[in-house]
Amino acid sequence: MAYLLGIDVGTSGTKALLVADSGEIVGRATAEYPLSTPQPGWAEQDPGDWWQAAVDSIRAVLASSQVDAGDIAGIGLSGQMHGSVFLDGAGKVLRPAILWCDQRTAAQCEWITRRAGEETVVQETHNPVLTGFTAPKIVWLQQNEPFVWASVAKVLLPKDYVRFMLTGEFATEVSDASGTSLLNIKERKWSATMLEAVGMREDMLPRVYESPEVSGQVSEAAAKLTGLRAGTPVVGGGGDQAAGAVGNGIVEPGIISVTTGTSGVVFAYMDSPETDAALRTHTFCHAVPGKWHVMGVMLSAGGSLRWYRDVLGTEEKNIAERIGNDPYDVLSAEAAFAEPGCRGLVFLPYLSGERTPYPDPNARGVFFGISLWHRREHLVRSVLEGVSYGLRDSLEILKEMGLPVSQVRASGGGARSALWRQIQADVFGCELVTINVDEGPAFGACLLAGVGAGLYPTVPAACRKTIKVTQRTDPNPETVKVYERFYAVYRKLYPALKERFGEVA
């Protein structure tokens, strides 16, 4: 039997997932690391932590599964998108990586847009330049740390730094490169126009591959550290959202994924690169060769519930500890006692700014409509409902773009809650399904590796062989009517508060 290894470089840890070619998961391991916030709105990590976590998780999954490293046919990489790793000519990291959730670059986004021209930016990249993207981080370094920039020889994305350490190759792939503001999305290659605008040479960036293409092999040095076999092929892989979409089977028209992790993502496949006229969503290259995807991203989805747990959920955490349960299960059980609509309490989930449909780093979270009637269960449920309203914003944009929606697949931590699945089905007004695997990007990376290794003929064929629908949640018609009313209120709140957000920021 052949096996596939997926490595997902996340924001809180790196996961190694070992999968048989049948799709059966035979081992998983995760190693965690810290996130640094040296100033408000900043987010950085040490790339060395990613590599050490990759080494530790690979060794752990090999040990726990007892799979011989020689039976691993291929390796796929996935990871947090947009982060910038700056290397000198010897491949040494020059400073901490600036992450996807870092908000320091608003001025640089405007600078790049003025310099390249807004029309050119959209024509080349199919997206506006946003604070989370890579190009403004590069310009920030040029303008604020020129002494560091003077030594920069290569700029890599997070998973591609792990690739470099694993193979010695400077390589990336189209889906992750799409989030840099430096890739020509239609032509699937680096944009000479955007590179000129940010003052970069193309040789400072890695070679771009399609996601299932082999980009290198495990080096002798990496083999000794990880326990892998030297020469094992490593494919391009995918940014976390594109790889996660492959892991959810979002590789054909009509099937939409809604992922509720720290961030929330609504993701749809496209045969051609269509763009929302108002640029509220992102159009990127898909991990399926020659295809594209559109996605809406909200920055604090599950992150909103985590904030509630950590800041306001002390009592629920204590209960969970006493009964040996997960605090999220306690919160979900509590929220079930509140009626849909929470007696007029509406939560805006903009705790770290927002991206879709409002690209506004100044947006903030709000509990709107609190009264003496409200109890803890209403607060918790209003968070679940508010995040669901925010995800619906993206679904509505996809419908406006004319994209078919025949099935919505739920994944991420939020999909584990039966209550939250029901709330989403009722807010969206359509059936929600879950599938037999919920390993997200790491599983998608395994499937991409399987295509590169020749175990599956195509990415869709890999998904058809390994992914099955396991559970369905139908909307409740009466609750749908309630949420229609409150979604209309939700939609009016951001426009009413936008200027006030700017003032307090």
Which segments within 320-468 are labelled E, that is strand? 346-348, 366-368, 405-411, 432-435
Q: What token pair was written down for 448?
A: 């991409």
Point out which residues pair with 14 in neighbouring strands: 9, 31
SS3 content of the chain, % helix, strand, coil (to 5): 45, 25, 35
Asked whether the beta carbons of 33 and 49 are under 8 A apart, the reply is yes
Closest CA relative to residue 302, chosen from 264, 328, 275, 355: 264
Q: Are 401 and 276 in contact (CB under 8 A)?
A: yes
> Does residue 203 have an active-site annotation?
no
Distances (CA, A) of 495 to 110, 350, 492: 22, 13, 6
Cβ atoms within 10 Å, residue 482: 16
Q: Which residue carries 């979409």 as its tokens?
A: 245
What stretch of H or E contains 79? strand 72-79
Given the residues 56, 240, 276, 426, the one annotated as active site: 240
Identify residue 30 by its one-letter amino acid code.
T
- Total Cβ atoms within 10 A of residue 109: 23
Amino acid at 101: C
Residues, the chain, total?
505
Angle at 202 between CA 201 and CA 204, to 5 degrees: 75
What is the Rg, in whole angstroms, of the alpha carbon atoms belonging to the chain? 22
Q: How would you label 84-94 residue by residue, b for 16+ Cβ within 10 Å and e otherwise?
A: bbbbeeeeebb
Catalytic residue list: 240
